[in-house]
Amino acid sequence: MKPGILILGGVWPLTLGIAFLIGQGARHSESQENSQLKQHSPSRPSSFSSSRRGTKGSRDARSKFLPTSQTERIVGTNAPRQAVTELAQLIDPVERAKGFLALIKTLETDEFLDVVADFRALGITEQRMSEYGMLLHAWAKADPEGALGYAMKNTGTPFARQAIMTSWSTDDPEAAIAFARANHEGEGANPLLVGIIRGIAPADLSRATDLLQNLPYSRERGDALQSILPFVMENGSDIALTWTAGIADAQLKSGAITHIMSDLAGSEPARAAELLVTLDDRDAAVRAADDVAGSLARVDLEEAKNWSTGLDDDLRAEAVEGIIGHYASQDPVAASEWLGSLAGTTNLDSAIRQFAWRSQGSQPELAADWIGHIQSPERRNEMYNSVLSRWLRSDPTSAEQWIQATPDLPEGVRELPNRLR
């Protein structure tokens, strides 16, 4: 059976679907995939043969692509393994996507292994992640266990396996879940379930949530949470926050609320600011305050500053950090004056560090002056070394004069000019 029958009919629905399928951590997967490729040559399951060239059906399908464009010429006149190599070299991402979709429609099930192995051998770059996802998605539609057999032997990151599980679970979630459970050992989180959660969430959010809650605290659980949240947020933040009420694990619930608030801050910062002060989960509110305040400041700086004054100390400290990151980038002198007016606010170390990072390029002396107000000796020395090292390289005379004129600097900081000469 040709996977082309099972795949979405147009270019853009599949391309958009793959963009989400790639999801978080694609760049991380890319570097690890390439590392694995350098160490291992493709290992083929016994049920596949690298010499297979497809059947008359695939050749007939390929013959339909008359060479009226570059992608059609590549697909219509080349065997699949040669076609995938040439398509991967195309610069235009739209043409490349069209070409891969055309190629996928012609592939017989037993041709996927060689095509995927050859594509991976070219190097999984950031630009090729979408096409890689397309190939895995289509292979999973045609032969999910064969695709997983290859991925489990030849890939060193979860990306390929999770992509395949996502595709499989959209068609047959029970079979995908059964396979995932049968092929996982140990007490740790099952990485295959991350892909399944992503795959079933659009159609069955309740089932996806149950699977999420059964994962132990782990990176996998965090990845699964991030993959499910877009579907949770589809009906608005109020319903999304109601959804978190059904999460039994306190840590998972708090993490979900934090993510929802941060996402809401990006689109509706005023609404996020309004909701933040009503949250029962104190830890989530504190963690989200930075993002909410920063997003609000980018829309209405004065409103953000006024809002922060009504918060308690812990929330205000986080909010000030978010605001100052934007404020110091726009007007470091005014930002310094505002920061100075907050003397009664406790624990401003993070906000001061943020101010120093943002202002050091245009106002290095002002940035250095503020570092002395950081309470933590370790953080203070870390910032002195970073900011003063940059200043000494860009304007050594002014930086050395500041160091000589500033009392109570740690000896190691005073020695920076000598160390950098």
Per-residue pLDDT tens for 350-359? Answer: 999 999 999 9
Which whole number is the average pLDDT over 84-88?
Answer: 95
pLDDT at 43 over 90: no
Give the model confidence (pLDDT) of 219-278 as tens digits: 999 999 999 999 999 989 999 999 999 999 999 999 999 999 999 999 999 999 999 999
Which whole number is the average pLDDT over 49-55?
Answer: 38
pTM over 0.85: no
Lowest mean pLDDT, pick from 66-70, 85-89, 143-147: 66-70
Q: Could you say which DSSP state residue 41 is in?
A: -
Using CA atoms of 177, 183, 185, 188 in order, give the dihedral in degrees to the nearest 10.
Answer: -40
Which whole number is the average pLDDT over 160-180?
Answer: 96
Q: How much is the pLDDT for 401? A: 96
Which pLDDT band holds residue 156 (cuts at 50, 70, 90)?
A: confident
Which whole number is the average pLDDT over 315-326?
Answer: 96
How many helices, marked H, and strands, marked E, lie in the chain? Answer: 27, 0
Measured distance between the N- and C-terminal CA atoms of the chain, rounded to whole angstroms: 70
Is 380 in a helix, a strand, or coil? helix
The Cα 308–Cα 26 span in angstroms is 36
Q: How much is the pLDDT for 26? A: 45
The percent of residues above 90 in pLDDT, for the chain, comes to: 77
pLDDT at 2 over 50: no
Residues 6+ apart with CB under 8 A from 347: 313, 314, 317, 375
The Cα 227–Cα 231 span in angstroms is 8
Give the model confidence (pLDDT) of 184-195 as tens digits: 988 889 999 999
Which whole number is the average pLDDT over 352-368?
Answer: 97
The Cα 340–Cα 353 span in angstroms is 14
For residues 35 and 351, the model is more confident at 351
Which whole number is the average pLDDT over 387-398?
Answer: 96
pLDDT at 372 over 60: yes
pLDDT at 317 over 80: yes
pLDDT at 17 over 80: no
pLDDT at 36 over 60: no
Please give the C-alpha separations between residue 8 and each of 80, 198, 258, in angstroms, as whole numbers: 20, 18, 35
Is 240 in a helix, a strand, or coil? helix
Which whole number is the average pLDDT over 296-309?
Answer: 97
Q: How much is the pLDDT for 34? A: 53
The Cα 122–Cα 131 span in angstroms is 12
Q: How much is the pLDDT for 174? A: 96
Residues present in the chain in total: 421
Cβ(356)–Cβ(339) under 8 Å?
Answer: no
Residues 6+ apart with CB under 8 A from 3: 104, 105, 107, 109, 112, 138, 139, 141, 142
The Cα 339–Cα 328 span in angstroms is 10
Helix axes 158-171, 173-182, angle to 10 degrees: 140
Please give the C-alpha separations between residue 349 and each of 57, 317, 372, 384, in angstroms, as whole numbers: 67, 9, 10, 13
Which pLDDT band holds residue 33 (cuts at 50, 70, 90)?
A: low
